Amino acid sequence: MQNGSQATWGGRFKDLPAQNMIQMGESVSFDYKLAPYDIACSRAHAQMLAKVGILTTEEQQAIDEGLQALLKTIEAGEFDWNPTLEDVHMNIEQALLKITPAAAKLHTARSRNDQVATDTHLYIKDVSAKLIAKIKACTLAFVDHAAANLEQPAPSYTHLQRAQPITIAHYCLAWVEMLYRDILEFENVNERANVCPLGSGALAGTTLPIDREYTASLLGFVDSNGNPRVTTNSLDAIASRDLITKFAFACSQLANHFSRLAEDWILWASAEFQFIHLPDAYTTGSSLMPQKRNPDALELTRGKASRVQGNLMTLLSLSKAQALTYNRDLQEDKPAAFDSAEQVSMILDTFADLLPKVAFNHAKLKEAALDPILFATDIADYLVEKGVPFRDSHHIVGQLVAEAEKSGMALNEIPLETAQQISTQLAEDFYQVFDFERSISKRIATGMPNPRLNAGLIEQWRQKIS
């Protein structure tokens, strides 16, 4: 402890770090969030050191008890984090040293490089599992809406122009598909995280006879048969940040899905659409315009998605030009990853509560879905069934649309005589094409909006997700 606060690596230094260096170099103001994982990591490491004879049982026990006591202090918010000790690892180690002299042996065969990598793996495993549970809640809310609206008409859009009739269920199940892929993505992140870097040391392991597999098992880095999973190259294990980047990507993709949903529903909640009613609890008023009911939760979701995408870019560019192996730049990975996790978690909590409370305005959705113009493609298909080549039938329907526009009529109000002047294939039964049930029930191949198909899917989703 010759030069005070820099005791752990200060042996070769004459001068203390500049105040600017301390300020720039400290990470404890954000990586304190790794404390529970860091403590788990140290407890397992000490247990392994005792197993291989580097620590005595007494030393290991003193360390273990000390670490458990520190965890309690930290959880109670009573730990005094000190930025001159740089990071969470040094803070905990130094605090432990005040509890037991055995703490001076804890950092044997270990570096902060493999320590932070291991903490990060544990963090990502933990957070991913929590996010998956939250995504499931949102997904099930959409499944419930689908089940309650199996045959309820809704319009669909491309280019934000009315396209073809669908059902509310079909719309909701589209979100289920997206969110389910997010679940798979986080499961995949979890699988990637499930490998223990500890024992890689600073970059080339250690000359001491450690048992990496034992530590990995203690920390739960095991495969489905309970066999330990450890990283197999020490350089890669401490230099790579693709796991954290992958995690940030999964967060970005998830945020994007909700941002897109938010965009739809901001429109749908407007006076122009009136397709949904948002719960009061997720809208706000205007300080000036008394009539306002602003969809703030949705707008903030869109805004937060941008922020989460920014985090992904931070991580990608952080690691793109670093000589192997560890460089201090890598410390900057954590604010981005933590922020992505926290923002996405907030979005999920919001939607898990908001989704079941959204009310669909059946009348308005139906009115839009039954607009005869949405059946234009159905008429083209009708003509195809009469033997007209699709390119021709498309052209014929185009002429019908032009005629309707010219005469100020709806598509299904064009008299048969006029219609037949455009195509003799248009017969009396042409008017049946504008029937919503007909249109939906004929869309029967896999992935289409037929209510029977969607009813089957709803059952499958419930089994898959619960």
Q: Is 331 in the site for ligand ARG (CB under 6 A)?
A: yes
Q: Is 87 in the site for ligand ARG (CB under 6 A)?
A: yes
Q: What is the CA radius of gyration of the chain?
A: 30
Nearer to ligand ARG (CB atom), residue 27 or residue 423: 27
- Paired strand residues for 196: 230
Two tokens, residue 121: 């793996």
Nearer to ligand ARG (CB atom), residue 201 or residue 372: 201
Alpha carbons 381 and 388: distance in angstroms, whole number: 9
- 87 three-state secondary structure: coil
Concatenating the DSSP letter of every residue in 1-66 gives: -TTGGGTTTGGG-SSPPPHHHHHHH--HHHHGGGHHHHHHHHHHHHHHHHHTTSS-HHHHHHHHHH
Two tokens, residue 241: 């940040």
- Min dist. Cβ of residue 271 to ligand ARG (A): 50
Residue pointed to by tokens 């605090």: 95
The catalytically annotated residue of 45, 156, 270, 286 is: 286
Choose which of 42, 47, 100, 113 interacts with ligand ARG (CB under 6 A).
Answer: 113
- CB 346, CB 303: distance < 8 Å: no
Alpha carbons 28 and 7: distance in angstroms, whole number: 17
Q: How far is CA 451 from CA 138, 355, 382, 464, in A?
A: 22, 22, 21, 20
Total interface residues for ligand ARG by CB under 6 A: 10
- Min dist. Cβ of residue 135 to ligand ARG (A): 28
Q: Judged by CB under 6 A, which stretch of 211-219, 259-267, 324-332, 360-368 contacts ligand ARG?
A: 324-332
Nearer to ligand ARG (CB atom), residue 27 or residue 301: 27
- Min dist. Cβ of residue 17 to ligand ARG (A): 12
Alpha carbons 88 and 412: distance in angstroms, whole number: 71
- Min dist. Cβ of residue 280 to ligand ARG (A): 43
Q: How many residues belong to the chain?
A: 466
Residue pointed to by tokens 């009539």: 291
Two tokens, residue 174: 């589209």
Q: Is 49 in the site for ligand ARG (CB under 6 A)?
A: no
Choose which of 43, 45, 110, 112 interacts with ligand ARG (CB under 6 A).
Answer: 112
- 67 three-state secondary structure: helix
* CB contact set of 351 (below 8 Å; sequence gap of 6+): 138, 141, 258, 261, 301
DSSP state of 413: G
Query: Residue 5 catalytic?
Result: no
Nearer to ligand ARG (CB atom), residue 39 or residue 140: 39
Nearer to ligand ARG (CB atom), residue 334 or residue 443: 334
Q: Is 123 in the site for ligand ARG (CB under 6 A)?
A: no
| Helix then strand then coil, % of the chain, to nearest 5 | 65, 5, 30
Choose which of 6, 27, 100, 190 interacts with ligand ARG (CB under 6 A).
Answer: 27
Query: Residue 145 catalytic?
Result: no
Nearer to ligand ARG (CB atom), residue 40 or residue 297: 40
Q: Is 116 in the site for ligand ARG (CB under 6 A)?
A: yes
Nearer to ligand ARG (CB atom), residue 89 or residue 212: 89
Q: Is 319 in the site for ligand ARG (CB under 6 A)?
A: no
Q: Is 383 in the site for ligand ARG (CB under 6 A)?
A: no
Q: Judged by CB under 6 A, which stretch of 108-116, 219-227, 445-453, 454-462 contacts ligand ARG?
A: 108-116
Q: Is 326 in the site for ligand ARG (CB under 6 A)?
A: yes
The catalytically annotated residue of 159, 287, 317, 466 is: 159
- Min dist. Cβ of residue 310 to ligand ARG (A): 20
Residues of this chain that interact with ligand ARG (CB under 6 A) are 27, 31, 87, 112-113, 116, 326, 328, 330-331
Which residues participate in catalysis according to the annotation? 159, 286
